C-alpha cells in the first residue's frame, strides 16, 4: 500500500526469522505475515514469533532437515503439465456492509492473498481463515488504523479458503477466495474500465461478471470520476462492486480521473519497490499462466531522444522480466490508448495518445505481449499492431462516445456499455466483449504457437451504428 507504516524493521526480522519462508521484496512495511501454526497478537501490534513457531529450533544448524544438493547435481524443476480448467462456478454476490469498505482482495498469488477493508474509526485488524469451511487460523495487527491490510502467506496454490475479518470486536460475514494456480495453469479473468460516473451501469457489469465466474478482476482506469473526492471511491467503485470484491481479487491501473490521488495508494495493494512508492501504480504480477503489466499512462514513459526516463525504464524492465517472458500469455493494461476512432462530441479532439502509439504499444509488441487493454475512450474498439491486439474497452459505465475518425489499425468499433472476459488456456487465449444484455458482440482467439495470427474473431454481423451521447 502507498501509505507509510511503522515497524518495518521488526517485520523484516519476522519475515526472515524462520528458515524456508518465502520473503517477498515488494511488500511494504506493516504487512502482517502468516505462519504454519496459529499465532497470537502481541502488545506492540505485531505477531509473536519464537523459535517454536519455526520448523527449525534456534540451535538447529542452518541446513538441518534440508536436502543439500551440489551445484552440479541440482535437478531441474519441471512444472506440472498444463491442465485445461474445469467448468467455472458463478461467484455469489452478497454485499456485506459490516464495515465501511470491503473486505476485498488484492495482490493475489499462488501462495498469498491480501485482505483489505476500511473502518470509520481507527481500530485493530484480524483475519480468521482456513481451508474448506474452517476458520482455524488467524493473523492480525493490534495497531489502530482505518484502512486495514492483512497479508496471508504460506497458502496452497489453486485452493479455496474461507475467511472472516474482525475489527473493534465487529466481525464481517464469512467469505471465500481461491489462490492463483501454479504458473503454468490456465486462468479466467474479467476486465472493466471507465465505470466512473455510472455506478448503476457498473453494478450490472458486476452481476454479469460474477455469473461468469472469473478468477481475477482487472481494470484500465477511470474507476472514479474524481479521485480526490474521497466519497466517490465508495459510491462509484467499492460500493457497486462490494459483493464481487469479497470473493475475487482485484488489480487496477490508474486513469487520469484518479488524479494520482492518495486514496488510490491507500486503498490499493500493488507490488512495488520499497524505495519507489509511486510505482505502486506501475507494476507487474503473474497469475497462473498469465503475466499482467499495469501501466500508469500519466507517467513520462517515452524516451527523450536517447535518454530513457525512470518510469519508462521501469515499464520496459517489467515487460522484459523473466516472470513476464516465461508466461504463456502477456497482457498489458493502461488507461490511455494508442489510436481512437471515437470521442465524446463526435469530433476527434482526442484520437489517441502519441507516447502510447509511438513507443508503448510497439515496445510491448516487440516483447511478445498479446493484448494491450485500455480505456479513456468510452467505446469498444479493436485493432492490431504487429502481434499485439489493441483494445479500447471503456464501456464500464461512463456516458458513451461517438465515432469520428478512421484508423487503418482499427477493425471493429462499437459504442455500447460492456466488459471483457478472457479464458487464458493452455493453448489458446479467448477474449469476449459482452454488453449489458449479455450478448457477446465481439471476440478474438489466439494460438500460442501462432503469434500475431487471429485463430478466430468476431464481430457479430450487423452491429448497430455508433451513436452520440454528449453527456460525457
Q: For the chain, what is the mean pLDDT? A: 85
Which of 150, 178, 206 lies at the terminal end of a domain, its last residue?
178
Give yes or no for a contact between 332 and 301, defined as CB atoms under 8 angstroms apart. no
In angstroms, the CA 114 to CA 104 distance is: 8
User: What is the pLDDT averaged over residues 59-64?
Assistant: 37
**Shared domain check, 346 and 277:** yes
pTM, rounded to two decimals: 0.83
Which of 40-44, 112-116, 177-181, 333-337 has the weakest average pLDDT?
A: 40-44
Interval 339-372: pLDDT, tens: 999 998 888 999 999 999 999 999 999 999 999 9
In angstroms, the CA 163 to CA 130 distance is: 7
**Shared domain check, 192 and 171:** no
Which of 46-60, 73-87, 455-469 has the weakest average pLDDT?
A: 46-60
Give yes or no for a contact between 241 and 253, defined as CB atoms under 8 angstroms apart. no
What is the CA 78 to chain-centroid distance, rounded?
Answer: 27
Q: How sure is the predictor about 104, in pLDDT bands with cuts at 50, 70 and 90?
A: very high
Give the 3-state secondary structure of residue 211.
Answer: helix
Q: Which domain holds residue 436?
A: 187-457
CATH assignment at residue 202? 3.60.21.10
Which of 147, 178, 209 lies at the terminal end of a domain, its last residue?
178
**Shared domain check, 250 and 174:** no
**Shared domain check, 422 and 311:** yes
User: What is the pLDDT averaged over residues 21-32?
Assistant: 35
**Shared domain check, 199 and 136:** no
- From the list 171, 173, 208, the residue with the least C-alpha distance to 192 is 208
Give yes or no for a contact between 289 and 184, defined as CB atoms under 8 angstroms apart. yes
Residue with the larger pLDDT of the pair 444 and 452: 444
DSSP state of 119: E
* Structural domains in the chain (count): 2
- Cell numbers placing 160: 479455496
**Shared domain check, 241 and 144:** no
Which of 111-120, 355-364, 384-393, 456-465 has the weakest average pLDDT?
A: 456-465
Give the 3-state secondary structure of residue 430.
Answer: strand
Largest CA distance in the chain: 74
Give the 3-state secondary structure of residue 203.
Answer: helix
Q: How sure is the predictor about 467, in pLDDT bands with cuts at 50, 70 and 90?
A: low
With pLDDT > 90 as the criterion, what percentage of the chain qualifies? 75
pLDDT of residue 77: 59
Beta strands in 295-396 (DSSP E): 329-333, 342-343, 371-374, 380-385, 388-393
Residue 270 has pLDDT above 50, yes or no: yes
pLDDT of residue 461: 81
CATH assignment at residue 140? 2.60.40.10
Query: Dihedral (C-alpha) 388, 211, 247, 287: value to the nearest 10 degrees?
Result: -20
Q: How sure is the predictor about 465, in pLDDT bands with cuts at 50, 70 and 90?
A: low
Interval 381-409: pLDDT, tens: 999 998 999 999 999 999 999 999 999 99
Amino acid at each position: 500500500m502507498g501509505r507509510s507504516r511503522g515497524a518495518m524493521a521488526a517485520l523484516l526480522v519476522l519475515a526472515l526469522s524462520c528458515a524456508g519462508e518465502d520473503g517477498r521484496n515488494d511488500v511494504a512495511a506493516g504487512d502482517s505475515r502468516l505462519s504454519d501454526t496459529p499465532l497470537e497478537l502481541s502488545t506492540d501490534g505485531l505477531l509473536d514469533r519464537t523459535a517454536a513457531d519455526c520448523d527449525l529450533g534456534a540451535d538447529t544448524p542452518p541446513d538441518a532437515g534440508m536436502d543439500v544438493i551440489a551445484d552440479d547435481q541440482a535437478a531441474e524443476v519441471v512444472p506440472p503439465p498444463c491442465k485445461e480448467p474445469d467448468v467455472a462456478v458463478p461467484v455469489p454476490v452478497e454485499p456485506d456492509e459490516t464495515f465501511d469498505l470491503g473486505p476485498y482482495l488484492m495482490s493475489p498469488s499462488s501462495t498469498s492473498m491480501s485482505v483489505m477493508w476500511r473502518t470509520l474509526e481507527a481500530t485493530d485488524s484480524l483475519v480468521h481463515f482456513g481451508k474448506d469451511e474452517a476458520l482455524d487460523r488467524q493473523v492480525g495487527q493490534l495497531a489502530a488504523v482505518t484502512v486495514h491490510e492483512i497479508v496471508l502467506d504460506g497458502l496452497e496454490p489453486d485452493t479455496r479458503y474461507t475467511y472472516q475479518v474482525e475489527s473493534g470486536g465487529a466481525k464481517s460475514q464469512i467469505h471465500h477466495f481461491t489462490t492463483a494456480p501454479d504458473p503454468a495453469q490456465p486462468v479466467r479473468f474479467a476486465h472493466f474500465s471507465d465505470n466512473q460516473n455510472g455506478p448503476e451501469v457498473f453494478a450490472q457489469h458486476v452481476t454479469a461478471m460474477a455469473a461468469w465466474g472469473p478468477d481475477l478482476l482487472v481494470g484500465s482506469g477511470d474507476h472514479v470520476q474524481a479521485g480526490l473526492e474521497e466519497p466517490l471511491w465508495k459510491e462509484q467503485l467499492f460500493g457497486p462492486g462490494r459483493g464481487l470484491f469479497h470473493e475475487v481479487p482485484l488489480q487496477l491501473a490508474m486513469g487520469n480521473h484518479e488524479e494520482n490521488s492518495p486514496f488510490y495508494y491507500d486503498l490499493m495493494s500493488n507490488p512495488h519497490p520499497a524505495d519507489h512508492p509511486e510505482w505502486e501504480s506501475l507494476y507487474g504480477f503473474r497469475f497462473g499462466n498469465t503475466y499482467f503489466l499495469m501501466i500508469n499512462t500519466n507517467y513520462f514513459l517515452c524516451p527523450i531522444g536517447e535518454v530513457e526516463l525512470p518510469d519508462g525504464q521501469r515499464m520496459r524492465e517489467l515487460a522484459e522480466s523473466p516472470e513476464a517472458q516465461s508466461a504463456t500469455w502477456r497482457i498489458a493494461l493502461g488507461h490511455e490508448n494508442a489510436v481512437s476512432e471515437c470521442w465524446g462530441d463526435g469530433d476527434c479532439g482526442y484520437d489517441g495518445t502519441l507516447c502510447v502509439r509511438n513507443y508503448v504499444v510497439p515496445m510491448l509488441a516487440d516483447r511478445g505481449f498479446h493484448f494491450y487493454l485500455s480505456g479513456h475512450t468510452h467505446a469498444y474498439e479493436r485493432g492490431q499492431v504487429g502481434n499485439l491486439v489493441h483494445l479500447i474497452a471503456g464501456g464500464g459505465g461512463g456516458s458513451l462516445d461517438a465515432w469520428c475518425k478512421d484508423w487503418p489499425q482499427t477493425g471493429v468499433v462499437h459504442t455500447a456499455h460492456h466488459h471483457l472476459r478472457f479464458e487464458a488456456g493452455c493453448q489458446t487465449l479467448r477474449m469476449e466483449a459482452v454488453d449489458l444484455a449479455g450478448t457477446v458482440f465481439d471476440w478474438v482467439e489466439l494460438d500460442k504457437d501462432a503469434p500475431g495470427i487471429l485463430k478466430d474473431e468476431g464481430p457479430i454481423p450487423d452491429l448497430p451504428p455508433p451513436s452520440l451521447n454528449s453527456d460525457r
